Amino acid sequence: MRSTRTIRASVAALLALALLTSCAADDPEPPPPSAPEPTPSPEEPAVAPLTGVEVPEELEHPALSAKIDNNPFARPQFGLEHADVVVEEFVEGGTTRYAATWHSHVPEEIGPVRSVRPMDPAIVGPYGGIIAYSGGHFIEQMQATGVTNVIHDSGQYDDVFYRMDDRIAPHNLLLSADEVVDRFSDLDAPDELWGFADEAADSAAQENGTDASLIELVYSPGESRTWECTDDTWTRAQNGQPDLDANGDQLSATNVIALSVEVQYVRGDVPETLLVGYEGAGFVSSGCSSVPVTWSQESVNDPLVLVTEDGEEIELAPGNTWIHLVPVTGSTSVS
């Protein structure tokens, strides 16, 4: 017969076991292990649509285009060094003017501003935004593009145009560029008109082209342009002289595009570069290399299409671009 002490010990053990079992039954089930939080994908960097250069944040303001004088009395010009794209076009007397566009950096002032020519709607239409000029015979065509027209002496924008005292008219008309862009800040930013490589070494010219160090362009007798490449940058000269900005620095470009174009004459002696519905040959130069291209344009609001001999659309090097529309009666060469 068990002793009382043994019985008491057994009872105590049974009670302890029952208590433990009861507590265990009351304990909640442990939660299942949680899935690890997914690692967020890195945000795509913001890129300026007209240069392909990374910027701190999306550029939501509109592009500003303007007609810029290239008469010797208009030099040096103001703001060309900040333009994303500059187009040099053939005008009366065998000379040239610029249709320049600013977006990634809009300076305080640009100019001298001059009048529009018949090909300008096709040149600036693809950028949308704003076009500033001093008038001309082709205002209706420019307004038909849907681009906001800021016209000197129209009675609407006298506060953003002003004349320099130390230059003669008409080569002294400047525009308060930043004020104009602020005034129309509700307009859309431009689309990317051409593709840009992530790096200059991946551009079409450097991947598929040949080495180049000198571009020679002739618009007419007495009107020549040259570009020389050093350290992947092209520097510009007019008629054998370095082309300088208002700060005394030589104008330069990351990409230089030279296109051969047909020209017809309207209103007597006004040359019109034929773009919409036409095509032609040219070359694109980036980073001391150059590649042949064919160009075409479908409408005034569509960008120039530039394709290589293989039919691939070109990719430019990230940076600014100068485009030369050279009459077929002139010449273009790269070496």
Query: Taking CA 329 as the corner, what is the angle to CA 327 and CA 332, rounded to the nearest 5 degrees?
Result: 65
Token reading at 323: 């485009």
Is the pLDDT at 175 greater than 50, yes or no? yes
Strand 279-286 relative to strand 109-110: parallel, antiparallel, unpaired? unpaired
Is the pLDDT at 103 greater than 80, yes or no? yes
35-44 residue pLDDT tens? 566 655 567 8
Check residue 8 and give its pLDDT: 40
Q: Is the dihedral of CA 154, 158, 161, 165 positive or negative?
A: positive
90-99 residue pLDDT tens? 999 999 999 9
Rounded mean pLDDT, 201-212: 97
Is the pLDDT at 299 greater than 70, yes or no? yes
In the chain the first and final C-alpha atoms are separated, in Å, by 118
Q: Residue 45: pLDDT band by 50, 70, 90 thresholds?
A: confident
> Per DSSP, what are the bridge partners of residue 234?
229, 253
Lowest mean pLDDT among 2-11, 39-48, 74-83, 146-155: 2-11
Residues in the chain: 335
134-163 residue pLDDT tens? 999 999 999 999 999 999 999 999 999 999
Q: Residue 20: pLDDT band by 50, 70, 90 thresholds?
A: very low
Is the pLDDT at 31 greater than 70, yes or no? no
What domains does the chain contain, in order, with CATH numbers? 54-334 (3.50.90.10)
* Residue closest to 285 by CA, chosen among 311, 260, 317, 310: 317
Distance CA 79, CA 61 (A): 18
What is the CB-side half-sphere exposure of residue 325 using CA atoms within 13 A? 29
Q: What is the pTM of this model?
A: 0.88
Is the pLDDT at 2 greater than 50, yes or no? no
240-291 residue pLDDT tens? 999 999 999 999 999 999 999 999 999 889 999 999 999 999 999 999 999 9
Q: What percent of the chain has pLDDT over 90?
A: 86
Is the pLDDT at 239 greater than 90, yes or no? yes
In the predicted model, what is the mean pLDDT of the chain? 91
Check residue 5 and give its pLDDT: 39
Lowest mean pLDDT among 2-6, 35-39, 107-111, 144-148: 2-6
Rounded mean pLDDT, 104-129: 98
Q: Residue 7: pLDDT band by 50, 70, 90 thresholds?
A: very low
